[in-house]
Amino acid sequence: MAPPLLYLRDIHLTFGGTPTLEGADLSIAPGERLCLVGRNGSGKSTLLKIAAGLIDFDRGERFVHPGATVRYLPQEPDLSGFATTLAYVEAGLGPGDEPYRAAYLLNELGLTGEEDPATLSGGEARRAALARVLAPEPDILLLDEPTNHLDLPAIEWLEKEIGSLRSALVLISHDRRFLENLSRATVWLDRGRTRRMERSFASFEEWRDQILEEEERDRQKLDRKIVAEEHWVRYGVTARRKRNVRRMANLATLREDRRSARRVTGAVKMTVTEGDESGKLVIEAIDIAKSWGGPPIIRDFSIRVAKGDRIGIVGPNGAGKTTLLNLLTGVIPPDSGVVKLGASLQMVTLDQRRESLDPAATLADTMTGGGSDYVDVGGERKHVIGYMRDFLFSPEQARTPVSALSGGERGRLMLARALAKPSNLLVLDEPTNDLDLETLDLLQEMIGEYQGTAIVISHDRDFLDRVATSILMSEGDGRWTEYAGGYSDMVSQRGAGVARRIAERPANAKEGSGGPQDASDRAQKRKLSFKEKHALETLPKKIDDLARKASILQTRLADPGLFAKDSKAFAQLSGDLVRIEGEKAAAEEQWLELEMLREEIEG
């Protein structure tokens, strides 16, 4: 196995109170693909920042191989001090990096490079930060929640882009499918320590459960041993006359072991308060349409939602997912067509931006509505402190203002408040944002057992596969199609994910287009992008440079005595030659495709 490019050994860190890290290890070899998992608040981001060299630790060792390049993606990137997004991304390039990649990656992520960082939304800032860390193709990529604020097309593109890099990867994410597709090994940070499994995240949950079951068996053995020792102390014949100092010391040690053992953080306890039974037909939409003064967002759309359906809504940002949700639930009227809501509907909504939370209100008042210390949940009256504990809030947080809560805590608070209200129709707009994997598991189980109807907007493919009975997919140009099953079933039926079908049909294409004249018009209107123009200009020189490098390597490898004199050098040169020839072939293919496109556009 190759020596590590970076390792952390026996890392200890305490911010006050319970230690965050107690002997954590992390080793990253060239080309490795690791996912770092653990509960919210377990210290994953802290460990990644230590690996990036951004924060100090109390005790332990950090090593980075001399010359290795490390790039870190924070959860909240800082773009201040840069005039444009392109300047921000280019500032992250090193002396030997390809300058064109800055503009290329921004273009792929939906940015022009001319944006003012001060005016960017959270999602746009996240995309610019992604371009900055990916552009240099570093030796080590440390990514903290890279899919946050990204829509499905961007997530699927990012998967392919990261998969094509040779960089070693350490990834923190709550997106299961993303972790499964990119990881080759899993590091679990639990109660301050790390455990490593040489398998992808797909095997993590089974492995974790086995470890926790073994711990529980060991804990029960320890408890039985303590009971036996206590019995001896109380009733042993020798003990009545003279205490056996050694056995008393053993008992004290056992008790200390039990006290000091850090137990697994409790699980969220979710109970949904179900309202009166709704009718069999929950929603019926007939030929509805909606626009906001521009191209139609929804047009000629019809659907019948029956009791017990779990509808997932997917599409790129800006496709109109929230607008469609608001139309179906009667929040806004359609421009044309009819929406009929069933009888006895009791709807509870979870909005994606947590906007309905008052930042000045305390956590307890937000849960109870103020003026009471009790919450009615499923017909049962519970004290707010007990209900807070069900969602992993400590009693000390009861008077904490909402503004002081983390993103994950706000997500749990919104769920706690929403699930306490009687309902037979759950409307969830991005409910998985900032939730850890264990909380996601329970949310999925809760939706699966819910007797009412659920409509969910989500970019989490695994979540949709687990809960949805059908998917509403944006096809572009205001058209929406319903597919039976979850997200993977939708992809199978369409033959493509979200991004590809949208790309095949221009946003300004008209219904029924696709004939020869339309194709000609599109070719004439098509222009080479900045990235394509730059590639056409620079690829010939790159191909020549690669050909020269390959020629030099071939000359050195032609030396008949090289292998006998230095087998390691021979192997290194052979590997370099294979890599360079692969890069040259890829560059030639890219140039040929762009040249053919240029000829087509110029007629």
260 annotated to bind ligand: no
Same domain, residue pair 344 and 458:
yes
Predicted pLDDT at 332 = 92
Could you say which residues of the chain have pLDDT below 50? 237-243, 262-264, 500-525
The H-or-E segment that residue 227 falls in is: helix 204-235
* Domain residue limits at 294: 281-504
Whether residue 525 is contained in a domain is answered as no
Residue 187 within any structural domain of the chain: yes
Per-residue pLDDT, 191: 85
Q: What whole-number distance in Å separates Cα of residue 405 and Cα of residue 413?
A: 9
Query: Does 3 carry a binding-site annotation?
Result: no
| 18 labelled ligand-binding | no
φ/ψ of 27, rounded to 5, equals -130, 130
Q: How far apart are CA 226 and CA 267, in angstroms?
A: 27
Quote the pLDDT of residue 130.
Answer: 94
Token pair 């040489």 is found at 198
Q: Is 42 annotated as a binding residue?
A: yes
541 is in an annotated binding site: no
Question: DSSP letter at 67?
Answer: T
Whether residues 574 and 485 share a domain: the answer is no
Q: Are 340 and 282 in contact (CB under 8 A)?
A: no
* Co-location of 236 and 150 in the same domain: no
Q: For residues 310 and 454, state if they share a domain.
A: yes
pTM across the whole model:
0.67
The answer on whether 478 is annotated among ligand-binding residues is: no
- Around Cβ 89, how many Cβ atoms within 10 Å? 29
- Both tokens of 377, joined, read 């949940």
304 annotated to a ligand binding site:
no
Task: Note whether residue 445 is domain-resident.
Answer: yes
- Scanning 400-515, the segments in alpha helix (DSSP H) are 407-420, 437-449, 461-467, 487-494, 498-504
Let me know whether 217 and 104 are in one domain: no
433 is annotated as contributing to ligand binding: no
Give the burial class of 362: count Cβ atoms within 10 A of its Cβ; 0-12 exposed, 13-18 middle, 19 or more buried: middle
217/178 same-domain check: no
* pLDDT at 593 (0 to 100): 76
Asked if the structure places residue 523 within a domain, the reply is no
Verify that 244 and 150 share a domain, yes or no.
no
Would you state the pLDDT for residue 267? 53
* Residue 512: other Cβ atoms inside 10 A: 7
Residue 68 in any domain: the answer is: yes
Confirm whether residue 308 is marked as ligand binding: no
Is 45 flagged in the annotation as binding?
A: yes
Same domain, 67 and 123: yes
Whether 189 and 296 share a structural domain = no
Q: How far apart are CA 489 and CA 481, in angstroms?
A: 13
Residue 414 structure tokens? 């919104």
In a domain, 1, yes or no: no
- How many domains does one find in the chain? 4
CA distances from 64 to 7, 32, 68, 452 (A): 7, 15, 7, 54
Kindly report, residue by residue over 14-73, the tens digit of the pLDDT: 876 678 899 999 999 999 999 999 887 788 999 999 999 999 999 999 999 998 999 999
Task: Tell whether 319 is in a known binding site.
Answer: yes
Q: Is residue 266 domain-resident?
A: no
Retrieve residue 358's tokens: 């008052």
Q: For residue 156, which of 450, 434, 461 has the smallest C-alpha distance?
A: 461
User: Is 429 found in the same domain as 387?
Assistant: yes
Query: Which residues are 318's β-sheet partners?
Result: none
- Which pair of tokens denotes residue 431? 């409910």
pLDDT score at 260: 52
Q: For residue 294, what are its two tokens?
A: 């521009």
What are the helix (H) ranges across 452-515? 461-467, 487-494, 498-504
Of 215, 231, 260, the one marking the end of a domain is 260
Same domain, 192 and 214: no
The angle, 0 to 180 degrees and rounded to 10, between the axes of the packed helices 245-260 and 204-235 is 150
Taking alpha carbons only, the member of 456, 476, 459, 270 closest to residue 378 is 270
Of 470, 504, 538, the residue that ends a domain is 504
Q: What is the CATH number of the domain that holds 323?
A: 3.40.50.300
Spell 143-160 as b/e; 16+ CB within 10 A means b.
bbbbbbbbbbbbbbbbbe
Q: DSSP per residue over 531-594, as a string? A: HHHHHHHHHHHHHHHHHHHHHHHHHHHT-TTHHHH-HHHHHHHHHHHHHHHHHHHHHHHHHHHH
**C-alpha distances in Å from residue 208, one per residue of 38, 192, 201, 202, 290:** 10, 15, 11, 11, 48
**Domain-embedded: residue 42:** yes
pLDDT of the residue at 524 = 43
* Same domain (yes/no): 295, 255: no
Q: Is 318 annotated as a binding residue?
A: yes
DSSP 414: H
CATH of the domain at 588: 1.10.287.380
- The first and second tokens of residue 590, run together, are 């890219």
